[in-house]
Structure 1
Amino acid sequence: MAEPVTRLDPRRSDAALVTAALEGDERAKEALFRRYVGMVSGLSFRLLGRDEELEDIVQESFAQAFGALHKLERPQAFAAWLSSIVTRVTIATIRRRRLLSRLGLLRGEPVHLETIIASTAPPDVVAELTAVYGLIAKLPVKERVVLILRRVEELSLEEVATQTGWSLATVKRALVRAEGLLEVSRARGEEEGG
């Protein structure tokens, strides 16, 4: 049996914590949660663009991870594996929201830019980011997720494919479509604005 994990023991590796959690050590799960809750919150926030269900996504992601911990083949890869779970839970949330919105059961809510953009940002930067976030929110789910994982999270195309569970070809097509849609929208905005 693994030695008990102390609450604030930063020396334990992810692999050691996963092994201890698999042996029933609840403190190991707590340590993994504390270590990665910021990453999970940040990733889901960037993918959603808003935070109404952020806590639900964080809880669901960790619940799925701890429920399937025995399936993790490489305990040292916990962070990447957890990121994949967060991405898939967030994708499901985006799809559910879009369906409810189409059915008239959910009203679309704007991105809360004050939580994303620094208060010291120049007005032209605020305007451009407002436009970009508005465009991203309208993208189809695959295009939106792939664009954010590639351009914001700076993952390689292979990492995006692994994290989403989509094929590399699907990821490449979605990225090309997303960038094309953004470019078309940007060009329309420039034509309308001046």
Structure 2
Amino acid sequence: MTGSPALRGPSSRADAPPGPEDFRLGNEILAFRFVATLSERRGNPVERIPTPEHLRAWLTLNGLGGPDLPVSEALLRDARVLREAVHRAGTAVAADEAPDPADEALLNRWTARHRARLVLTGGRARWRLPETDPARAALAVVAVDAVATLGSGDGVVKRCEQSTCDGLFVDTSRGRRRRWCSMATCGNKVKKANLKAARTGTG
């Protein structure tokens, strides 16, 4: 689309299958981890699900499928539309505003497709996907998590304050003073920048 920022892909080797290093998995909220498949939104955006294989890998790493999960180009496009609706709705809630009705309607259409079952296996809760269209059912789990998170009132939805991020997180800390979507990524970037500024006297 004209005027859209150029997107970078993940930095993994071209001949290597997607792995954990290709994604930002530190967010406690599943739906907001999915939002982070487009990272550096306020800088030079990185598209972390550029192919169906990357989307399959992300779903697998988040307990929503396996290496044989059928993911098509059409589903990838739908997944990105879902992702951006979650980001817009979360951004609205973070600003203490109501999400756009169109985004709410899209999320509600996805939650209507929720057919996965949460089962206990080996003492751990796991999602069991239906045999028919399991990848779409996996994305419906993400949508359900988004609706539950944005509408629950548990904690405060915030936008990450790291200058290039614009990710989302839920602040349940005492005093509601958390500022970063992940301390391991954005928080660490800010810490390093502050240390560098202190050393050079530019802070």
Does TM-score exceed 0.5, indicating one fold? no
TM, length-normalised to structure 2: 0.24
Which structure features the higher share of helix residues? Answer: 1
Which has the higher Rg, Structure 1 or Structure 2?
A: 1
Which structure features the higher share of strand residues? Answer: 2
**RCO comparison, higher one (Cα < 8 Å, 6+):** 2
